[in-house]
């Protein structure tokens, strides 16, 4: 775009293309992109309908308060997430957990904003209007990352991307530092307050500014933010719920980067061979652009190449903490690079360079226009299909939601410890006390048509706590179903084998059978946190030992 300090135009008119038609074409391409985003907003919200809170949400929802400076700056995992904490507290105050829509609307709007800024980077780099519209427009429907685009928590990562791109665009001008640079630093600060993705984005800005404006201005855009991040890291950034990390070997870290790049191009292409074709086009196109643009390549390609480098840097930083971990359900640490949030961010950082390469190829060989422009479109049907089928993943979360909403309403809820966690796997940190307070304030809704059996099952989960404490009481062989009544504080122990337990409430249907397994490190003790609890214990296999 023309403007103060710019040394090039987005779509420079040629001898056989008068300025007015060129401007009309640019307006048409922009209108087309706006139409895509306008259509995408309701579609994405429709595909994501029915979502609810899971995993990371509960830390920001139930474990933080806006009035605590410590809570605002305590890291979530490894991330500085002050602004998401404030968003969650505001939405909790305004909406409670009666609806998930505000969280989902915000993350979708951030995604669409990120795509618009990616297109702006493409245009600023001189890509033709329709190339920018097609390559950015297809990313609107990047269904490989459906759970990043449609899950509210990922406002953290996408927020850092959005403000990082804004910082990059504001810093992309010639001349000495001015008001735009100050606004860029503010945008970079906002990105840093969303998540650790901002660290990569600050590096990206530094590389782009170094290439275009020199090292002094590059230091201006990186040192203050880097120093601030280091102060936070030293003061509080190593506290809290950091993930257990296993440092990777050099081979594992390199594989993490390779897997992430393959997953990204595969996600963009969807069909066999299309991702590889995009990668080949990227490399060949950049070589052509370097030769064709000559001295202007440095300024034209500064942002796309810095973002491309940022994609590799991001995978390298992330791999340092993730490539050495084992996945929960098999596989090796480097396979974490296939996680949708990583693929989303790498794709966002890679697309401007792909578009610049495509533009260079088309300018060199007009006959290749159909082939080049069809490549990003080939992946669109597959990605749209992944977005449309995303609701299938809600089947298990609907069960979790029902159990959590029933928890504060079971008869034993008022006498159970407030620290009891209704679902420590799907809702880590969420406590029964927080839910009870939420019911009283009207911010926790009632469950949908709960059955008495569901109440009994939730009661069993809440009121029978497990521990690996070793019992010394005499044990008996358990060869068939038996009933025990536990009062508050009483316990039983599985010394050998496994068992299913059913809660038998008075004058009500029994609970669903729950399986209890003997611990690998020793006997499993079950303690009644309230009572009386009448339990039917069925051994599996038939010869177990029951103590207590």
Whether residue 130 lies inside any domain: the answer is yes
What pLDDT band is residue 414 in, cutting at 50, 70 and 90?
Answer: very high
CB 354 within 8 A of CB 282: yes
Question: Last residue of a domain, which of 334, 367, 388?
Answer: 388
What pLDDT band is residue 328 in, cutting at 50, 70 and 90?
Answer: very low
Domain that holds residue 156: 32-51+100-388
Assess whether 266 and 375 both reside in one domain.
yes
- pLDDT over threshold 90, residue 20: no
pTM over 0.95, yes/no: no
pLDDT in tens, 92-112: 999 999 999 999 999 999 999
Assess whether 323 and 181 both reside in one domain.
yes
The CATH code of the domain that includes 508 is 2.60.120
Whether residue 196 lies inside any domain: the answer is yes
Whether residue 478 lies inside any domain: the answer is yes
pLDDT computed for residue 325 by the predictor: 62
Whether residue 317 lies inside any domain: the answer is yes
Tell me how many domains the chain contains.
2
- pLDDT over threshold 60, residue 199: yes
Q: Which of 86-95, 182-191, 214-223, 522-531 has the lowest mean pLDDT?
A: 522-531
Partners of residue 49 on adjacent β-strands: none
pLDDT computed for residue 286 by the predictor: 96
- pLDDT over threshold 60, residue 288: yes
Assess whether 248 and 345 both reside in one domain.
yes
DSSP letter at 326 equals P
Question: Last residue of a domain, which of 359, 388, 417?
Answer: 388
What pLDDT band is residue 180 in, cutting at 50, 70 and 90?
Answer: very high
Q: Which of 75-79, 133-137, 300-304, 451-455 has the lowest mean pLDDT?
A: 75-79
Assess whether 383 and 469 both reside in one domain.
no
Burial class from Cβ neighbours inside 10 Å (0-12, 13-18, 19+) for residue 448 reads: exposed
pLDDT computed for residue 397 by the predictor: 77
Assess whether 380 and 457 both reside in one domain.
no
C-alpha distance from residue 363 to each of 11, 350, 357, 449 (Å): 12, 20, 10, 63
DSSP letter at 256 equals H
Whether residue 122 lies inside any domain: the answer is yes
* Cα 246 to Cα 294: distance, rounded to the nearest angstrom: 45
Assess whether 384 and 516 both reside in one domain.
no
pLDDT computed for residue 2 by the predictor: 41
Whether residue 214 lies inside any domain: the answer is yes
* Cα 361 to Cα 340: distance, rounded to the nearest angstrom: 30
Whether residue 295 lies inside any domain: the answer is yes
* Segment 33-42 mean pLDDT: 97
Question: Last residue of a domain, which of 388, 411, 430?
Answer: 388
What pLDDT band is residue 520 in, cutting at 50, 70 and 90?
Answer: low
* Segment 331-345 mean pLDDT: 86
């Amino acid at each position: 775009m023309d403007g103060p300090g710019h040394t090039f135009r987005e779509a420079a008119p040629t001898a056989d293309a008068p300025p007015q038609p060129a401007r009309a074409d640019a307006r048409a391409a922009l209108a087309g992109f706006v139409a895509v985003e306008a259509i995408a907003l309701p579609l994405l919200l429709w595909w994501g309908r029915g979502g609810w809170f899971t995993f990371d949400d509960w830390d920001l929802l139930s474990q933080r308060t806006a009035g605590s400076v410590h809570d605002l700056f305590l890291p979530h995992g490894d991330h500085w997430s002050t602004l998401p904490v404030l968003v969650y507290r505001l939405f909790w105050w305004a909406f409670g957990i009666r609806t998930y829509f505000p969280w989902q609307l915000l993350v979708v709007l951030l995604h669409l904003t990120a795509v618009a800024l990616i297109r702006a980077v493409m245009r600023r780099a001189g890509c033709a209007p329709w190339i920018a519209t097609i390559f950015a427009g297809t990313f609107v429907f990047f269904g490989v990352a459906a759970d990043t685009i449609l899950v509210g928590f990922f406002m953290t990562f996408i927020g850092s991307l959005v403000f990082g791109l804004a910082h990059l665009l504001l810093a992309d001008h010639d001349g000495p530092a001015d008001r735009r640079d100050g606004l860029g630093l503010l945008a970079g600060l906002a990105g840093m307050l969303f998540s650790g993705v901002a660290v990569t984005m600050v590096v990206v800005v530094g590389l782009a500014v170094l290439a275009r404006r020199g090292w002094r201005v590059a230091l201006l855009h990186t040192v203050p933010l880097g120093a601030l991040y280091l102060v936070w890291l030293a003061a509080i950034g190593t506290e809290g719920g950091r993930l257990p990390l296993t440092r990777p070997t050099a081979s594992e870290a390199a594989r993490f980067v390779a897997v992430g790049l393959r997953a990204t191009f595969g996600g963009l292409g969807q069909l066999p061979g299309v991702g590889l074709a995009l990668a080949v086009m990227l490399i060949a196109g950049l070589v052509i652009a370097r030769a064709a643009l000559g001295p202007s390549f440095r300024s034209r390609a500064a942002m796309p190449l810095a973002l491309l480098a940022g994609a590799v840097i991001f995978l390298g930083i992330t791999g340092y903490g993730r490539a050495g971990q084992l996945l929960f359900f098999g596989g090796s640490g480097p396979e974490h690079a296939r996680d949708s949030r990583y693929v989303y961010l790498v794709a966002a950082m890679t697309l401007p360079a792909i578009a610049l390469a495509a533009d260079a190829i088309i300018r060199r060989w007009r006959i290749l226009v159909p082939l080049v422009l069809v490549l990003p479109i080939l992946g669109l049907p597959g990605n749209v299909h992944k977005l449309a089928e995303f609701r299938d993943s809600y089947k298990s979360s609907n069960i979790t939601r029902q159990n959590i909403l029933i928890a504060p309403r079971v008869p034993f809820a008022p006498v159970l410890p407030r620290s009891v966690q209704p679902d420590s796997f799907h809702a880590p940190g969420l406590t029964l006390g927080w839910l009870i307070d939420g019911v009283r304030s009207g911010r926790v809704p009632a469950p949908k048509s709960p059955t008495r059996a569901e109440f009994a099952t939730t009661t069993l989960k809440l009121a029978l706590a497990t521990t690996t404490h070793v019992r010394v009481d005499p044990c008996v062989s358990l060869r068939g179903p038996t009933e025990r009544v536990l009062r508050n504080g009483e316990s039983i122990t599985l010394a050998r084998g496994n068992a299913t337990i059913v809660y038998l409430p008075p004058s009500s249907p029994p609970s669903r059978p729950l399986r209890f397994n003997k611990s690998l490190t020793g006997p499993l003790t079950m303690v009644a946190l309230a009572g009386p609890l009448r339990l039917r214990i069925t051994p599996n296999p038939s010869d177990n030992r029951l103590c207590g």
